[in-house]
Amino acid sequence: MRLGSLAIDPPLFLAPMAGITDRDFRLIVRRIGGVGMVGMEFLPAKGLVAGDRRTLQLLHFSDEERPLSMQIYGGDPATLGAAARQVQALGPDAVDVNMGCPANQVLKGCAGAALMGDLDVARRIVAAVRREVRVPLTVKFRLGLDERRVNYLELARICEGEGADGVVLHARTARQMFRGEAAWEHVARLKEALSIPVIGNGDVRAPEDAVRMLRQTGCDGVMIGRGATRNPWIFRQAAALLCGCTDGGAAALPTIAERRTLVLDHFAAVVAREPAPLALHKLRTFTGVYSHGLPAGERLRRQIQVLPDAPALIAAVETFFADLELAAA
């Protein structure tokens, strides 16, 4: 697929996720293979414009990650335009505007999914960002604020009319958060309504789900979020299914040894780069997602909450994987 002049092959996208898609995780997914574009953690426009230290620390990326999209969010068109100008100067391959985040702290700032309740402001934001951005521009949104206010088609037409190169639809309402099932039929409906590319998002938990979404909805691409945290190999597996390479190899499930190597290499990179308190927080977060669905994963997640530092946590994770390998032998 193409976003403007940019080719995305395969049409598989790593979703931007706060606290998750930092440089280390993006590189992990890129090096495993199969991902067409990776998304940076979403960036607050106010923080960018004000030069907030924490926000600026999120901006670092390497050429190895390309193609890479930077996502910005906020509720004021002028601030979003200024932030877009800063982001454009950094040289990303694409820029995305977040109009779908359902988190309360974002909604309170009249940003994220809250913009679906004020389409005039949403229009002015897309126009302001488009004026500043020369790379492909996308907008990510949900079905609407709730079941009574489903207006994604109207917002999508606004985005197309203001020059967006593509849109991303998470097929849930903001009120649903991540509960219930994503309504993929709306992705299909959106694809029929627009001439620009449509990227579907929601409930892609397995590589087969990505293939099914593409075929069932006719969308141009698939964005994967939580499914990638639980299985960073999902892009490689889905890409293999898309090309018909299903006989082992790239489509194979990772072994326990492969999972152990990935997790410990990732944790070593976090410890080397982050100050101790932040490193421990990140290790706890990623231990939670990496252990999801694995035997005794819940016990490990409880255990790490009381461990005092990163070395103790890493030792617990090493023991966890050693026990898994022993049980599988």
Provide the pLDDT for residue 251: 67
Query: What are the pLDDT digits (tens) for 103-112?
Result: 888 887 888 9
Active site residue 159: no
Query: What letter does residue 115 receive in the DSSP assignment?
Result: G
Cβ distance 97 to 144 under 8 Å?
Answer: no
Express as a percent the part of the chain with pLDDT over 90: 81
pLDDT at 124 over 80: yes
Catalytic residue among 101, 159, 219, 245: 101
Query: What are the pLDDT digits (tens) for 163-209?
Result: 999 999 999 999 999 999 999 999 999 999 999 999 999 999 999 99
Provide the pLDDT for residue 107: 81
Provide the pLDDT for residue 105: 81
Cβ distance 29 to 14 under 8 Å?
Answer: yes
Query: What are the pLDDT digits (tens) for 221-262?
Result: 999 999 999 899 999 999 999 987 655 556 677 888 898 999
Provide the pLDDT for residue 246: 55
Pairing of strands 2-3, 6-7: antiparallel
Query: What letter does residue 249 receive in the DSSP assignment?
Result: G
Query: What are the pLDDT digits (tens) for 140-153?
Result: 999 999 999 999 99
Q: Predicted confidence band at 289 (pLDDT cuts at 50, 70, 90)?
A: confident
Binning the chain into helix, strand and coil, the percentages to the nearest 5 are 50, 15, 35
